[in-house]
Amino acid sequence: SSMELKRLVDDLKVVLDEPNKLEIFEYIRPLIPPKHQVDYDKMAPAPPGRKLRSVTLRRHGNESFGFAVRGGFEHGIGIFVSQVDPGSQAEAKGLKVGDEIVRVNGFTIAEAIHDEVLNLIKGRQEIELKVTNIGMLPIKERASDPVTWSYVDKDTKTNVRKGQEMGVTHKKSAADEVKLFVNLRSAASLGCSILSGPRHFPGIFVERVNPGSLGEEIGIQVGDQFIDVNGTSFMDITHREAVVALKSSKELNIVIRKGTGLPLVQKSGDVPPQSSSTINHPAEVHAPPSTSPQGNQRYDSASEESEDESTIIMEMDK
């Protein structure tokens, strides 16, 4: 039940109490029953970020940069974003509490103490940060205390004190991503059809989900967009390549973006039939004919959120 799942996640968070243990949540994901996959993804902390995001900060007038940090080499840890001002551009652009700052103005700060990092930032009109999301914050109330860690609610911009339950504070928006594990060894079919969007609406989308299917059980819905399958990005992929990726294994780690394809699917009568495929048993998936127009099989550069190129204006306080 959902209550048992919540109890499991809460118990895991007591044991998995530092960043280098967070990956264990990913190892547990395949053990979660299909009907609870979406709830598990909401409750479990996000896996530590593996990719760096580049954030350029520009100061206007005398304003400061709008977020606070904690940590430093003197504590045996890195520098973490501990606060983001509500309503700021930092919040709007996605800077998160729990982000670790890895570089400042090209300088690696792994061995920098707190004041050295602040000196790299203070007095400058423009700085460039490289950050990665960890999803936890270090806590050290007194100099003699050991460093402990608190989980950050991935749906909010504030940290959660150690021992405080995380919970889900609001329903995920249609643009949120959900990670699912699919075991096709126990089902004859995923039970859904995919649609390849045209150039003006690029992506691989769910066109139909059969009632009672495994796809419905794990929470896949019409209009969902496939973002990644077993490490293969679906952001710049042909329809045929998408079909091959979906039939490549009986165990699929899928990342979907909820509801982004609904405008396209609702008008699917205008989409050529050769740009859709039914995802049956891996051995029975049919790719679209190679004679279909290139514009309906392969789409232009994906409209990913480009945090790397976004200019984010914030305030920086010690």
pLDDT band at 269 (very low <50, low <70, confident <90, very high): low
Residue 152, Ramachandran bin (φ over 0: left; ψ between -120 and 50: alpha; else beta):
beta
SS3 state at 149: strand
Digit-coded pLDDT (tens) for 202-219? 899 999 999 988 888 888
Inform me whether the pLDDT recorded for 302 exceeds 80: no
Q: What is the mean pLDDT of residues 279-301?
A: 39
Helices (H) and strands (E) in the chain, counts: 9, 16
Query: 13-20, long-range: CB within 8 Å, 24+ apart, which pairs?
Result: 13/45, 13/151, 13/166, 17/148, 17/149, 17/162, 18/136, 18/149, 19/48, 19/134, 19/135, 19/136, 19/149
DSSP 125: S
Inform me whether the pLDDT recorded for 4 exceeds 50: yes
Inform me whether the pLDDT recorded for 285 exceeds 50: no
Q: State percent of the chain over pLDDT 90.
A: 17
pLDDT at 290: 38
**Domain annotation for the chain: domains and CATH numbers:** 2-43 (1.20.1160.20), 53-165+310-317 (2.30.42.10), 177-297 (2.30.42.10)
Inform me whether the pLDDT recorded for 26 exceeds 50: yes
SS3 state at 265: helix
Instruction: Name the residue with higher pLDDT: 316 or 45.
Output: 45
For residue 252, the cross-strand partners are 182
Q: What is the mean pLDDT of residues 54-62?
A: 79
Q: What is the mean pLDDT of residues 183-196?
A: 82
Digit-coded pLDDT (tens) for 79-129? 999 988 886 767 766 778 999 999 999 999 999 999 999 888 887 888 888
pLDDT at 61: 74
pLDDT at 275: 56
